[in-house]
Chains A and B, each alone.
Chain A
Amino acid sequence: MRFRTVVSNSNLFLRVVQSIDKLSKSAILKLTEDKLHIVVITDVDSGLQLWTDVLNDALFSEYRIDSAHGNEIYLEFSIDNLQRALKSAQGALHITLKLTKKQQLPVLSLIIKNQSSTGRELTLTQDVPVRVLTPLQMENIREPMVPDGHVHIMMPPMNSIRSVADRMKTMGDRVAVGANNCGEMRIRVANDLVDITTYFKGLENLNDDPTQSQALTGRRPNDSRSDTKRFFTAVVDMKNFIKFLQSYHVAPKNVICCIIENHALVFYVYIGSTGFGAGSGMINDNCGSLTYFIPIRQV
């Protein structure tokens, strides 16, 4: 198995890793011929899962991968280690990433070339220990199958949601997230003493499954269905909802919320080559996405 590439956009790579930092200690990196995937599973049954993919072309150049299993390599790594390594690579002249062995143990080696003030070339190597997963182990990690969503809606500005959610998180261990096809979203938490519902209006609905990017560029206006005011709601663990809200420092402008009643909440964040969040005109700039799956709370 062989993997070696030049990292051409270390800043984007770092920001992707930073956005998953708060979710878990470790994650799985799946390297393929055309995309880089990162999978974070906080709890197999009831926890939030994050599936990220980024086009290799947006991050790398001179990309070489070779393995016995369809040229795919699966590595488990510590998020903090990779994050620190990428941080030290920022602004470097040249960065190489390769899979190698140090002291008999597999590592992802980041070879960072910089120039000192005297013009001398400095090379810094950061090794991130990894565990290579077998294809069989990887088979067991599969993106959750979800039925078509009942409603797709753009989230309100993340700052407003975060401040309200921060207060609501002490009120209960489960939260009901609902939306309708009229641009309205509501979030509700309740306990013996207090019941709070917060309403957001004027949000944009999307009528098609956002995983099909063509559908987004050819967005139809909201058609007048008979029951557009009807709310679709998913009740999830407050803990998972808060984890999602806290999971990136840079608040992207556009996050899509998909509600599959009685099944899950799914949030999509698109990655453009310059930053996170795709505006309606920027889909063509789309080089990846972060997909958060939050299953409904099992009673």
Chain B
Amino acid sequence: MMQMKKTVWKDIRQSFRKSWGRFFSIMILMALGSFALVGLYVTGPNMRTTGTTYLNARNVADLTIIGEYGLDASDQAALATLTDVNALEYLYVKDVSIAQTHTSVRLFSQPKTISTPELIAGRLPRQSGEIAIDASQQADYPLGSIIHIDEKADQSGTKVIAKSEFEVVGYIQSGDFLSLATRGPSTTGTGQLDSFAIIHPSDFKSDVFMMAKLRFDSLIELNPYSDAYLEQLQIEKDHVYAVLAGQPEIRLHELKTTYNQKITTGQQAINEGEQELDNAAKQLEEAATLLKEGQQALVANEQLLLSAEAELEQAKQELRENEVLLQNTDTELQRTDEILREQQALLAGKQQEYEQGVQTLQGKQAEYNQAVADIDQAQQTITEQYKQLATAKQDYTRGISELEATIFALEQALGDEALDDAARQQLLAQLEQVNQQLKAVTSAYTLFLQQTYEPGVIQLDAAQKQLDQQTQQLQTVPYEIEAANNQLAEANLQIASGQAQLLAGKAAFADGYAHYESGVQQITTAKQQLITATTEYQMGKEQLADGQSELIEQTSLYEEQRKKYEQELPTATKLLAESREELATAREMVEQLVAPTYRVDTRRELLGGDGYKTYSSISNIVDSLAMIFPVFLYFVAALVTLTTMTRFVDEERLNSGTLKALGYDDYDIIKKFCVYGFVASLIGTILGIILGHTLMPTIVYQAYRSEFTVPAIEWHFHLGITLSALALAIMSSVIPAYIVAKRELREQPATLLLPKAPESGDKIFLEHFPGIWRRLTFTQKVTCRNIFRYKKRMYMTIFGVAGAAALLFTGFSVQHSVSEIKSRQFDTITHYDLIVAENPLASMPEQQQLSEQLRTPAVKNYAPVYYEEVTRVAGAHNDTQAITLIVPEEPENFAQYITLKARKTQQPLELMDEGAIISERLADLLHVEIGETLPFVDQNGEQRQVEITAISEMYIGHFIFLSPSGYEKLYRADYESNAYFTTLIDSSSENTKVAASQFMQLSAVAGVVQNTSIMSLIDTIVTSLNQIMAILIFVAMLLGAVILYNLTNINVSERIRELSTIKVLGFFDPEVTRYIYREATILTIFGIVGGWIIGMGLHSYILVVVPPDEVMFNPARWIGAYIIPVLVIAIISLVLKFFVNRRLIHIDMLEALKSVD
């Protein structure tokens, strides 16, 4: 059994290898289906998840409240009563423009908790004078640069921003402004907000906050894109409205009170001004008197100075004389000093001499003493030597005498007769010896005497003699010393007397000098006194000059003041008069004050919230496409896969029969087909799932990324849709394989071993009409037969081609529908460049300025209209739709600005005396038709309803058009225009901006609307949709290619025998190809026509479901959408034909015909 299984697996592997074409076909079909399904399904949710993450991170406000007169303590108290509030924050807000540009910037105080800015670079402002601006301005205003702002004062002339220069410290993005290009209207610049920024709260000088931001507990956890959120939000919004209901009246009252107070202070100021004027006149008079007095004092001072000068001259003379006297004394003193100095030098020389003498004398005494001592020592030495010589001589003589005594003794002994011989002998010997000794000593003595003693004595005698001589010489020296000593004593005496003389001289000199010194002192003092006196005199002189020039100055100053006073007097008087007038207008204004309105905006409705809305629109667009295309693709893919698997089972018939005959059970054989289908579709589906999760979101993101600040789209794994894709894959490949194989295996193995009986011919439907049938040529008949003979293939071809063609048709149609919006809207419908809204409070001169501006050459045409923003809740999200209500003063000329026409007929529409023309998209959204009534809410919150007389072609925005009389009937009020439609000579967007900002600068202008305001958002939608359609077109082309490849392949292999037969019959190659292509072509044509029909349906559906509420796609169909699918399929067919041709040429007809038929 194991062995058998192995064979089955081997067989399965073989079947893969034999048919890569089929394998890839199934794989690609499943990949396409799952890619479109998964991709379209996940992209919308991923976008919303990304958005939610961002909104949560930035804690973007659920509701934003803007009070027309700001939000003061009473408003805050009212809002404080709201329950369920998670966070509430008040902000200062002010629109300003950047100086020298048209760029408008909305300045905010920094929110701490809600709608917190995202710091892109740098830091947030920490102190006054710093600004963090939105990152789109990064290029123009680098960090550290200074932004100069222009603030337009409000009606009452107050400004809110304390500074006009701000240093850029950072760049931010905000969750409130998701769109980079479209930020809603602004009260400055061109009337459209370009930018926003955060400054330090201390730079706002406002009593009230302008804006409140709110987050609610009940909304925090909800998905902001869910219906639950929208429903709960509406509830909260109603609460806010309820809480604020009484505020407008309260605020109006308060405001009137403050204004009246201001008027009172104004009156006071005028009174003070008048007082001031009087004071000035008085001051001038006083100044004139003071000047005269000054003149007199100056003359007296001049006299005094002259006498002082004479005194000074005298003192100078005296001083000079004293100085000469002193000079003489000085010379004398110097001479005495010199003499004294000479004497002193002389004395010093003598003293030196004396001291030298003393020294020499002392030297001589010492020498003498030394000489005496030397002589004494020499005497001693000589005496000693004498003694030594004497001693030596004595020693010799004693020795000799001793020896002689011994000899004597011995001789005596010898003489003794008693003496024996032996002893005699011995004594004799001894004697002998001593004799000899005596002889030696005697000779030594002689030698001594001769050589040492005698010369020594002579020498010593000579020395004694010399010494005696020296002693004699020394005896004179003490006398000499004595004489010198006497001499010295005398000199010493002389010196002492000299010194006494010198001391006396010195004392006399010191005396004289002291005298001189005191003289010098006296003169110095006198000199100083003179200098002081001179300085004083000089100062007196200068003071006088100063006094004189001051007087001149004062006089001219006085003259000036007087002139100025005379000049200014008329102006001041006029100014005062004006102030009085202004006060009067202010009083009037207070009278005109109306109760303020409070805007309560959701994220979608917020000024500048278009980005939020568009972002979710795009995600919804993808969602709605997810409901259509994949279903379609899968249907076609499944159909083709089914046919392909059927053919596969057929081809393997013999093989299956053999296996079955060998004893394999049905399960093993079915398994092969199921595994094949499963593997092919699984690989394809996994590929599609991966690409769907990644590629599709990325492509869509690329399409919209440049428009939004929202971060890159997140990739999330979506299990549900993944499982669905896998289930669909199995359903469209494994299940068909199972069914087909199962059915085939029901037959006996023996039958299976025979080739499947070819589908036998039968009369076709057409043959029952002999009239037609007979008229067909033979080939036509054959073609007809063949078409109907293979029904499965017929359906597959028609549906497959229809599917691909429908997708192509839809893709191109949608692309065309969206790409036409812009051109249709701006080339054929709207012609105005600006709507200039008048300020209802403008004064006459201000209005005058506006009409001048309108008459400048840059403006081509203008027309007064009544213009109002009305609302109506409509659309899938129950959004408050902003509708522009327009009432032209002269309906006859209105076509110059907006062409009202029916889209289908292109017939111009006329405004009736009663009833309204409304724009087409609005009619679609509300499902209203001509003759029905349209209810709406006007700008004062009043419900109104108007009958619809016509529906006008309009692609962008909602409009209601009324004639003046229609307006009067509807509003029961007199018609009065409040805005101008203008067309410009140069309507380029750059110039439009310039013109818009020029209008914005006028006080008589409340706002300017450019017709291009939501263009960039429309562009984003168009780009996104175009991208998605491009993907679908690509998918459709691939689908078409795979389907046609499969069809042709099956067609050829299924009919190989028939083809061989006609080859044998001598059909040329092109004839053979044509033989099978003719049917394929006809079926393809049917398919394409079917595709057109289905495509039209899809396109219509998309037009309803996909566009954002305020945008209408052009429903007109484009001829290209019909033609391109034909071309695409034709090209695919031609390419395939080339391959089929080659295959047909290589058919081995003999091989095919050999077998049993």
The finding on whether chains A and B are genuine partners in a shared complex, rather than unrelated, reads no
Residues of A participating in the B interface, judged by any CB pair closer than 8 Å = none
Residues of B participating in the A interface, judged by any CB pair closer than 8 Å = none
